[in-house]
Homo-oligomer: A and B are copies of this chain.
Amino acid sequence: MDKQKFSKHVELKKIKITDPFWLGETELVRKEVIPYQYEALHDRIEGADKSYAIENFIKAGRVVSALKNGEEVPVYPADKWCYDDNNAHPDAFHGWVFQDSDVYKWLEAVAFSLSDCPDAELEAKADRVIDLVCGAQLENGYLDTLYVINNRSGIFSNLKDFHELYCFGHLSEAAVAYYKATGKRKLFDAACRFADLICDTFGEDKIKGYGGHEIAEMALVKLFDVTENKKYLDAAEFFINERGKKPYYYDTVLGRETVYDNYHYNQAHCEPRKQHEAVGHAVRGVYLYSGMADVAKRCGDDELYSACKKLVENIIDKKMYITGGIGSTVDGEAFSFDYDLPNDLAYAETCASIGFVFFARRMLEIAPDADIADAAERAIYNTVLSGMAQDGKSFFYVNPLEVLPEASHKDSRKRHVKPVRQKWFGCACCPPNLARLISSIGEYCFTENDEALFVHQFIGCEAKAENADIKISSTYAENGRVTIEIRPEKEITLAVRIPKWCGKYTFSLPCEVKDGYAYFRISDEATLEAEFDMQAKLIKCSNRVRENTGKVAVVRGPFVYCAEEADNGKNLQMLRISKEPDFRCDGDTVIADGFREKEDGALYSEWSEAEETPVQIKLIPYYKWGNRGENEMCVYIRI
């Protein structure tokens, strides 16, 4: 690592989003998603699966009071991943083992939203939720409603499958965000108390365990960044160093030899610094890698950074859909092998792309890297935004690149591929994760150090960086135009990413171009006009990906496009796009010349050139698919 290249992101508090495209999304989160999710967490959405999340905190609060009063508290089983009305006592914990995290993600989204847009009523609601959360904390700092309600003696007994360290991570992330947004310490103090307990419990000469679902690593670094208490950083480092060591902790607990898969699913098959291929549950993976990058930077750990580099390259070069989706198999919601990127069987969970964006920013804070920033952009504008309906009321977990509704209904292999977005899920990780990413999108625009201010993403905003005020006026999503007004406090370098998707670009100021960034020396107030050519393009996927040989995708600027049945009729596989498709734009719709094959009558027949009719293929941005009821969709089209 070259410490000269280190930078840090500009804090959300110092950024005001003004971008017309992004204001639409952030307002949707503020006005629709956050209130909707508040109702969902309180089980007040008709027709949606019950969350039980708030109810669990209320129950846990009762247990805490009873314990304080020395009352007898019953014990319930804590041995399953999910507890519903049929298999749990009414007074016991309900929902998934990680249900608490939904409340934390909601609180974090609220915090981000309050940063940008104060709202006393919303803050009051959040404070009430925080009271419930803090009321559920045991005296020793422990806070996880499953074990608080059901069985205090089971605490930290099954780190692999149950999510105490995961919920701790989300609690801490929410606490840091809420503290930064409001200055209120109640939740932050609760998180620190839980963190202290964790530091006392895990470590050399203590329990040598680590969470089955990573996030505690990066959360502890956030606590460290705010408190500067080194024990939190040490704990994060400990969790990373201990992971995957043999004999496996998880085996030691169970008192057996590994019989299953050596814990690839949990990225615990080997030590993280020896991991060079992204494997296992994709969300867990990118959360771990985020924590690894955090620790590598703060501890100056080159070996760990080297692993992070190899992992991010493996993902970008061999395991990422063109839409920025990662984790191509439903089985284990996991990374598959290199170049295994099936379109119709894709998992590509919304949360995994969100996690990739976290990982990417941390890598950019270690060193600028246009490939990583490009991949993050692709993820943000496609798979992440695709996760939410245009009305903010329904959500995709899974983001396939090809959908045939009949297959989703009739073919069990594609049961995970939903042709329309779903209401709040019982296992609702994605919607609140989306809310927190979108409402903090400003944090992904810039990184800065003493010498330079980097613009990684082009989102219209006004920001107060350390050494400069910067204002971005952007119609980037619409036409690739960006105006950057900068008022430096001293001479600095402004570094602007040049998106890889644009062949042509113009800058109004002289610059030096290097490794995908344009570097401008700025000594005084300046205005930079940048234009990135948004001409739609045919993009091919490597012929190592078996599904896409002979096919292309259409990409325009940061957006990947797709064809839907609503515009192009059934049987999208019968479409063929012209090699010179004469792209026309109509708003954000792209029209391309192409052909439609006549339907074959016989299942098998002697080959002859297909009978085709010229057609205009209408393409819409991928993130907008599935907003017009069930219909076929595909990203790749034959050429």
Contact = CB atoms under 8 A, between A and B. Distances in A.
Interface of A: 316-318, 320, 322, 329-332, 336-337, 339-340, 344-345, 402, 404, 406-407, 410-413, 503, 537-546, 549-550, 552, 571, 573-574, 576, 579, 597, 599-610, 638-639
Contacts of A543: 571, 573-574, 597, 599-600, 610
Contact of A549 (B320, B597, B607): B597
B571 A337 contact: no
A344 B545 CA distance: 13
Nearest to A600: B542
A331 B345 CA distance: 15
A495 to B, nearest CB: 24
Nearest to A553: B604
Contacts of A601: 542
Contact of A413 (B329, B541, B603): B329
A574 B609 CA distance: 21
A538 B605 CA distance: 9
**Is the contact region of chain A dominated by helix, strand, or loop, or is it mixed?**
loop
Contacts of A330: 413
A410 B545 CA distance: 15
Q: Which of A317, A318, A411: most chain B CB closer than 10 A?
A: A411
Contacts of A320: 603
Contact of A318 (B339, B552, B603): B603
Contact of A340 (B407, B549, B608): B407
Contacts of A576: 550
Contacts of A606: 503, 537-540
Contacts of A542: 599-605
Contacts of A407: 337, 340
Contacts of A639: 607
5 contacts: A316-B603, A541-B603, A542-B605, A543-B573, A579-B609
A285 B178 CA distance: 61
Nearest to A318: B603
A466 B545 CA distance: 59
A336 B404 CA distance: 14
Nearest to A345: B413
Contacts of A608: 540
